[in-house]
Amino acid sequence: MAKSKFEYVRSFETDDTCLRNCYIVVRLDGRNFHKFSEQHGFVKPNDERALALMRRSAGCVMEQLDDVCVAYGQSDEFSFVFKRSTNWFKRRASKLMTHVASQFSSSFVFFWGEYFTHQPLLYPPSFDGRVVLYPSNRNLRDYLSWRQADCHINNQYNTVFWTLVQKGGLSTTQAEERLKGTVAADKNEILFSEFNINYNAEPQLYRKGSTLIWDTAEEVTTKKVKPANQSEREVHVTRTRKKITTHHCDIIGSQFWEEHPDILESD
Ligand code: DGT
Ligand code: MG
Ligand code: MG
Ligand code: MG
Ligand code: MG
């Protein structure tokens, strides 16, 4: 077929194929969620509904898109790790990133009402996305460790900050002043000695974030069969199905990775 004279514009498209053998990480982050969380009455510092909705949307991304081997989320962000051997969309960064972002955003809106039963969605939220490549298992694990360490640092700060405000009667400015220059041990001490809160006993979900991986589960179904010349009977059929499991555990140390050796492909 003859090409139109306009065809040449295709050559303006640039190649954004991700380097082979690398893990492709797409990280999404809610746009201006400082305002979004205020306007939708998120509980401070952690809103169970919001975190559950984030996990639900991330699960939807894993189910609808190929080759995500692990996802990690906290606060208004989620990172999706594509298998290093993936050839989905020929490893084109823009395709991968935009599919993740739009599947996540539409899921977030689609499932909103299931989690925020009495809080209408006031305007359409959006998430930015970026792609980063990690060439080794060490680099990938360090990336995920970085996000989990960030979760811990922010959550510890926010927990003390909002305890000082909600239980200690301080203004937000006073709480900020009080925490200036404090290290982790000081923050734990304030929580413990003044409010009888043991930070390490706070929910793992808040302190560690959420890690989603694939697991296999045996599923037993009954099926009606009717062999020739015999009466109909029921048989049990066992099938192995892939399903997503959620973990709120430490992913910085080795234990999690040793318990789930199938997540990473060897270097
Ligand atoms: P950005 O990402 O540059 O567009 O701006 P933000 O405002 O989204 O900033 P970011 O992503 O650094 O911080 C996340 C904001 O979302 C932060 O202000 C706290 C809020 N947020 C996230 N999860 C919760 C939650 O469970 N409860 C409450 N109250 N706020 C939350
Ligand atoms: Mg940001
Ligand atoms: Mg944000
Ligand atoms: Mg964020
Ligand atoms: Mg098309």
Domains in the chain with CATH codes: 17-149 (3.30.70.3000)
Q: Mean pLDDT for the chain? A: 96
CA of 18 to the centre of ligand 2 (A): 24
CA 33 – ligand 3 centroid, Å: 5
pLDDT at 64: 97
pLDDT at residue 218 in the model: 87
Whole-angstrom Cα distance, residue 27 to residue 75? 12
Which residue ranges of the chain lie beneath pLDDT 70?
1
pLDDT of residue 1: 67
% of the chain with per-residue pLDDT over 70: 100
Check if 46 has its Cβ closer than 6 Å to any atom of ligand 1.
yes
Q: Give distance in angstroms: CA of 94 to centre of ligand 1.
A: 25
Residue 25 neighbours by CB under 8 Å, 6+ apart: 79, 80, 81, 82, 131, 132, 133, 134, 140, 143
